[in-house]
Amino acid sequence: MTQFLPVRPTVDECYVDRRLYPHGVAFMDGQYLPMSEAKISVLDWGFLHSDATYDTVHVWNGKFFRLDLHLERFFRGIELLRMRLPYDREKIVSILTTCVGLSGHKSAYVEMICTRGSSPTFSRDPRHAENRFIAFAVPFGSVANKEQLERGLHVAISETVRIPPKSVDPEIKNYHWLDLVKGLFDAYEMGAETALILDTNGHIAEGPGFNVFLVKDGSLRTPAFGVLPGITRRTVFDLCAEVGLSATAADISRAEIKRADEVFITSTAGGIMPVTRIDGAAIANGRVGSVTRRLMDLYWQKHDEPLWSTAVIYP
Ligand code: PLP
């Protein structure tokens, strides 16, 4: 016999465990909401097909860091995915600022998302979908915790291959993460804390939420192929140009990364973060290297640079 669910949910079904949600403020469908109330339809293509693009920018000491670059990448992704937003750049800046301002966070992780949305007729044609914009601000989070930042992360190289750039353009920041999540589980099984996965040619690509650099004989290298052009990665290039360090984007083999003098990862979620062990073996002497430390210091100093930061106005 067919069973029908009650039309009105019970009190228990309405109960939202707020401990599951970080304190923060979201914007969706024209409204600002507490994080626990920001929900999308299960029919949204963003949920059903990962048909979405997004960007994450952070706020540090009350200022956005390199917001212009994040907006540029976000708008480019939207264009490449043939989506359309009802808001221009200025309005998005105002929405992001309001989310952070209302949340009160002085250090925040701020995400802007555009999903394909869904069509009012449940059409299978993506052109019929009404694209949806969502933004939120929650407390700042990092790939590496305090202890890991001090002693360096322990990383494992997984055999998992990152989705090919001909399938999903990595220039479009996306939620195709099944490869990265598989890499993480592989890494945990190998006793490591996070993972690096491979590109389609078997070289090092990137990890769950970060790019990677090696330092060898004073020069830096980061993979060029099949990776998200990270804003923190770009910042490392800018910092290297400023202090006269050589940095290039080119293939890195598994053997090369293990023989490096220093290795670090880069992400908006944590900045520049040292790696001191790969596949259970120490990188050089197993301590955080001097080039990494110097770049980490410069990176955080730059958060007060007027050209690279945008102040949030708190209510
Ligand atoms: N690579 C992937 C797959 C990512 O998801 C991210 C960030 O989320 C990065 C690299 C680092 O990019 P960014 O420095 O812009 O945060």
| pLDDT 10s digits, 209-246 | 999 999 999 999 999 999 999 999 999 999 999 999 99
Distance, in Å, from the CA atom of 45 to the CA atom of 312, rounded to the nearest integer, reads 32
Q: What value does the mean pLDDT of the chain take?
A: 94
Distance, in Å, from the CA atom of 151 to the CA atom of 136, rounded to the nearest integer, reads 32
Distance, in Å, from the CA atom of 178 to the CA atom of 165, rounded to the nearest integer, reads 15
Which of 172, 178, 211 is the pocket-test mutation for ligand 1 (most atoms within 8 Å of CB)? 211
Contacts of 285 (CB under 8 A, 6+ apart): none
Q: Higher confidence at residue 5 or residue 29?
A: 29
CATH top-level class for 146-303? alpha beta
Look at residues 221, 206, 239 and name the one whose alpha carbon lies nearest to residue 305. Answer: 239
- Residue ranges with strand state E in the chain: 25-28, 31-34, 52-60, 63-65, 108-118, 130-139, 153-161, 194-198, 211-216, 219-222, 247-249, 262-267, 271-278, 281-282, 309-311
Q: Where are the domains of the chain?
A: 18-139, 146-303
Query: Does the structure show a pLDDT above 50 at 6?
Result: no
Q: Residue 6 gets which letter from DSSP? A: P
Look at residues 17, 26, 29 and name the one whose alpha carbon lies nearest to residue 102. Answer: 26
Q: What is the pLDDT of residue 22?
A: 82
Q: What is the pLDDT of residue 15?
A: 55
Q: What is the pLDDT of residue 13?
A: 46
Which of 76, 112, 228 is the pocket-test mutation for ligand 1 (most atoms within 8 Å of CB)? 228
* Rounded (5°) CA angle 95-28-176: 100
Task: Give the tokens for residue 293.
Answer: 């430390």
Q: What is the pLDDT of residue 171?
A: 97
Instruction: Write the pLDDT tens digit of every residue in 265-301.
Output: 999 999 999 999 999 999 999 999 999 999 999 999 9
Q: What angle do the packed helices 67-80 and 89-103 form, to 10 degrees? A: 120
Taking the CA of residue 70 as reference, the ligand 1 atom at the shortest distance is: 15
Dihedral sign, CA of 226, 167, 179, 72? positive
Query: Does the structure show a pLDDT above 80 at 121?
Result: yes
Instruction: Write the pLDDT tens digit of every residue in 254-275.
Output: 999 999 999 999 999 999 999 9
Provide the percentage of residues in the chain whose pLDDT is more than 90: 92
Identity at 106, one-letter amino acid code? K
Nearest CA to ligand 1 atom 3: 209
Token pair 């052009």 is found at 229
Q: What is the pLDDT of residue 28?
A: 96
Look at residues 255, 256, 275 and name the one whose alpha carbon lies nearest to residue 264. Answer: 275
Dihedral sign, CA of 170, 256, 195, 158? positive
CA 221, distance to chain mean position in Å, is: 20
Distance 278 CA to ligand 1 centre (A): 20
Token pair 């990962």 is found at 50
Q: What is the pLDDT of residue 161?
A: 98
Instruction: Write the pLDDT tens digit of every residue in 154-208.
Output: 999 999 999 999 999 999 999 999 999 999 999 999 999 999 999 999 999 999 9
Instruction: Report pTM.
Output: 0.94
Q: In the structure, which protein residues have their CB atom closer than 6 angstroms to any atom of ligand 1?
A: 56, 206, 209-211, 228, 230-233, 266-268
Instruction: Write the CATH number of the domain with boundaries 18-139.
Output: 3.30.470.10
Query: Does the structure show a pLDDT above 70 at 10?
Result: no
Query: Does the structure show a pLDDT above 60 at 5?
Result: no
Please provide the DSSP assignment of 163-210 as one string. Answer: PPTTTS-TTS-----HHHHHHHHHHHHTT-SEEEEE-TTSSB--BTTB
